[in-house]
Structure 1
Amino acid sequence: MNIIADENMPALSLFDGIGTVVRTPGRPLDRTLLADADVLLVRSVTRVDAELLAGSAVRFVGSATIGTDHIDQAALAAAGITFAHAPGCNAVAVAEYVLQAVVAFAVQRRTPLSALSLGVVGVGNVGRKVVQWAAAFGLRVLASDPPREAAGEACEEGAEWAPLAEVLACSVITLHVPLSVTGMAPTRHLIAADQLALLSAGQLLINTSRGPVIAEQALRERLDQPQPPQCILDVWEHEPWVTPQLLAQVQIGTPHIAGYSVEGKVRGTYMLYQALRQWRGLTDAAKPMPLDAPPRHWEAPLETEAQLLALLQWVYPMARDHQALVSACGAGPNETPPSREVAAVRFDQLRKRYPLRYELGGLRVSGAVAPAWAQALSLLGVQC
């Protein structure tokens, strides 16, 4: 088999023995490589549709992502092409990103986590993780997921369903919806001018889902008005181009890397490896998932929000990613932004050359831990 794969996918050696892997940039993807390809493996930067696959021999498309808005699944189905993706592969990493943002907000406001409320919009693989740890840390959690509510599903333990307006009244609002423009609950511009008008200076809005879920122009206008909310964005409506003016307005901006843990990336590749094996009908023993996080030991206490934040920032220095994006987009004080084309290339380079980042799982803590946090830390895989 001939397998064309995005060169930024890790652990592609898993496919050795199934076929010959050719690594290639995912943006833009060279269509000529697909002429004799049986399998195409991509990430979110590659738009896969009838135009890309026209004249190709591709029979299986896999995306090592949780989202599928870059895949024209109807076109693949019409052509008889099997599709697989990796839902939930980076849910832990994204939830840890949100956790750090929330803890930093609590420290900034000098308030305990238990005094905050969290509004979760979209309770899928990532949203469930966020609800789980937030409830364990003592936050009051309200959630909005119209498709799940309409199906009569119960909300996760520690949270309750609420109308979107009530969710938007929480101390922190975090978005975890897929991008959709049709259906019973379309999410493109779900957060627009009317919703943003409900937010105030005492709130934090986080988006790690898809950029167009928030109407960018409306957000820029709201952030220019009196008493704006704080905002943390990992995704952008026009990425790989990031509007320098918006980046200068937000508290933290990162280049769509919330889920970029080593574990999350490897899980994504491994899920495609399993799907391809099933499609091929292979019955030999599968290779193990190649994960080997280094040992990490935290000897300081974890009894205050400030101490917890120090641990989270030690594991993942979010401010580093913010500064890297600011530099790439020329969004610093007195800087002249580069052209849109140059900024887009720099955005992709930040993702391509992203440093190794491991999740909290397996971390050992030997310092004193606040009793109320022991369960929450255990859920995160931290050994106290």
Structure 2
Amino acid sequence: MFSPKPYFLLLKILADRNLYKLENFIPKDSELTFYDPGNGIPDHKNTDAWLLRTVTNVNEQTVPDLSKDLQFIGTGSSGSDHIDKKYLQKNGVKFADAKGCNARAVAEYVLTALLLLKFDEKVDIESLSYGIIGVGAVGTEVGKLMDAFGFNYKSYDPPREEIDPNFTSCSLDEVLECDALTFHVPYEEYGNHPTKYWLDETKLANRNYKVLINASRGGILKEEAVKASFNKGHIDFLVIDVWENEPDFDPEFAELAYIATPHIAGYSEQAKLNASSIVVQKMLNHFGTESTIDQDLYQSKYVDLAHITFSDSQLLKRLHPIMEYDAALRDLIGRSDRTELFRKLREDRPFRFEYGYLSLDEPLIKDHPFLKVLGISNH
């Protein structure tokens, strides 16, 4: 639990009901009210802090009447392109995100997809060169896992190079010449480094890719350009978790993908706890109170599979629901209500445990060495 300072601090907090176990992090002397984001923008009068998720867009059009009482808006997500930060600043509202909360979960999604390509499609993933585009919290974790597996990769992030003297980005040509690309950038339409349609017809021209993975934001890939390149045989495999017009995803694009999932790469028990923890900590810091975290919330899980024989592929699919989400998304293709069902998919599924919080019987790990590389421990 969070332990606020001993002085009295009554905060009136409005929160998305889907922020995971949020009540465990809120000081007991605060007034916490949950709302259903499916019902639109909530009444936020007489509210000090509003905690929301990416499904709620906050800008001058969606929330033209920001309450004068509101002092803080926090999103329980790593990305923040659903928030007009200049609009909040103009109205004197402090904003904070939960950047990095799901970094490990997304990195595990990427490596899980690659391992399934190896196990099911016989792709020689060890021989490929990888381009990591965006090397913030998520891209860094992807790099760590690629190091663990001995993969060869290049890191591309010019904006980070501008502010981090210890980081050197590869060149654009170097990253585009890689065999596989994985995207981990924020969505930016303007500025010195826009990412909207970063991968377009121009960058795809005269290039071939074994794998393209997008688990960052919809609109980073220009889907029509990627579809055209795929249909010409210039791209072998697509792994797509985010969509240009999400939640109204393009069924045709989904059908082309080897793996197509409903924006769940970052969904894990630990990532969701991190999101609630980080955004509440930032909120309390803004209001001048300190906090501590009850680490007992971060439980490990033993998976008893000792008496079952698995192939590598079968075992990985038991430990990560990536193909269950893929099947669920494909079931929506052709449905007129797919937009609403897409939202429900993101809300109704149980969260997986990250590999570092799983343990298996030792003989199973010996028989499947990739498990140890992913961080799964002996029971």
Tell me which interval the TM-score lies in, with the shorter structure as reference length: 0.7 to 0.9
Aligned residue number for residue 102 of structure 2: 90
Residue pair 1:263, 1:291 contacting (<8 A) in 2 also: yes
Q: Cα distance, 1:286 vs. partner?
A: 5.4
Q: Cα distance, 1:55 vs. partner?
A: 4.2
- Structure 1 CA distance for aligned equivalents of residues 371 and 262 of structure 2: 32
Q: Cα distance, 1:311 vs. partner?
A: 3.8
Q: Cα distance, 1:239 vs. partner?
A: 0.4
User: What is the correspondence of 1:270-285 to structure 2 with a 5 Å cutoff?
Assistant: 270-283=277-290
TM-score by length of 2: 0.87
- Structure 2 CA distance for aligned equivalents of residues 268 and 218 of structure 1: 34
Residue pair 2:215, 2:241 contacting (<8 A) in 1 also: yes
- Structure 2 CA distance for aligned equivalents of residues 35 and 152 of structure 1: 41
Residue 182 of structure 2 aligns to a residue in which SS?
A: strand
Aligned residue number for residue 234 of structure 1: 241
- Structure 2 CA distance for aligned equivalents of residues 284 and 191 of structure 1: 42
Residue 214 of structure 1 aligns to a residue in which SS?
A: coil
Aligned residue number for residue 358 of structure 1: 353
- Bigger mean CA offset, 290-299 vs 213-222: 290-299
- Structure 2 CA distance for aligned equivalents of residues 111 and 224 of structure 1: 19
- Structure 1 CA distance for aligned equivalents of residues 291 and 76 of structure 2: 23
- Structure 2 CA distance for aligned equivalents of residues 203 and 133 of structure 1: 19
Aligned residue number for residue 165 of structure 1: 173
- Bigger mean CA offset, 60-69 vs 107-116: 107-116
Aligned residue number for residue 17 of structure 1: 28
Pairs aligned (count)? 364
Counterpart of 1:349, as a letter, is K
Matched, 1:129 2:111: no
Matched, 1:346 2:358: no
- Structure 2 CA distance for aligned equivalents of residues 150 and 10 of structure 1: 35
Matched, 1:100 2:112: yes
Counterpart of 1:312, as a letter, is L
Distance 1:300 1:207, change over 3 A: farther
Aligned residue number for residue 333 of structure 1: none
Aligned residue number for residue 216 of structure 2: 209
Aligned residue number for residue 273 of structure 2: 266
- Structure 2 CA distance for aligned equivalents of residues 45 and 236 of structure 1: 14
Residue 133 of structure 1 aligns to a residue in which SS?
A: helix
- Bigger mean CA offset, 35-44 vs 191-200: 191-200
- Structure 2 CA distance for aligned equivalents of residues 19 and 152 of structure 1: 39
Counterpart of 1:92, as a letter, is R
Q: Cα distance, 1:102 vs. partner?
A: 1.2
- Structure 2 CA distance for aligned equivalents of residues 284 and 208 of structure 1: 32
Aligned residue number for residue 244 of structure 1: 251
Aligned residue number for residue 8 of structure 2: none
Aligned residue number for residue 7 of structure 2: none
**1:226-281: CA deviation from partner (whole Å, max 9, x where unpaired):** 34331110000000101111111111110000001011011100111211221222
Q: Cα distance, 1:152 vs. partner?
A: 5.8
**Ranges in structure 2 where 5+ consecutive residues have no aligned partner:** 1-10
**1:340-384: CA deviation from partner (whole Å, max 9, x where unpaired):** xx221111010110223111113234135499969844xx36448
Residue pair 1:59, 1:81 contacting (<8 A) in 2 also: yes
Residue 282 of structure 1 aligns to a residue in which SS?
A: coil
- Structure 1 CA distance for aligned equivalents of residues 368 and 303 of structure 2: 22
Distance 1:191 1:382, change over 3 A: farther
Aligned residue number for residue 4 of structure 2: none
Q: Cα distance, 1:17 vs. partner?
A: 1.6
- Structure 2 CA distance for aligned equivalents of residues 63 and 235 of structure 1: 18
- Structure 2 CA distance for aligned equivalents of residues 344 and 225 of structure 1: 29
Q: 1:319 aligns with which of 315, 323, 328?
A: 323
Residue pair 1:169, 1:198 contacting (<8 A) in 2 also: no
- Structure 1 CA distance for aligned equivalents of residues 191 and 198 of structure 2: 13
Q: 2:54 aligns with which of 24, 39, 44?
A: 44
Residue pair 2:119, 2:312 contacting (<8 A) in 1 also: no
- Structure 1 CA distance for aligned equivalents of residues 126 and 307 of structure 2: 22
Residue 248 of structure 2 aligns to a residue in which SS?
A: coil
**Ranges in structure 1 where 5+ consecutive residues have no aligned partner:** 331-336
Distance 1:106 1:285, change over 3 A: closer
Q: Cα distance, 1:101 vs. partner?
A: 1.0
Distance 1:165 1:382, change over 3 A: farther
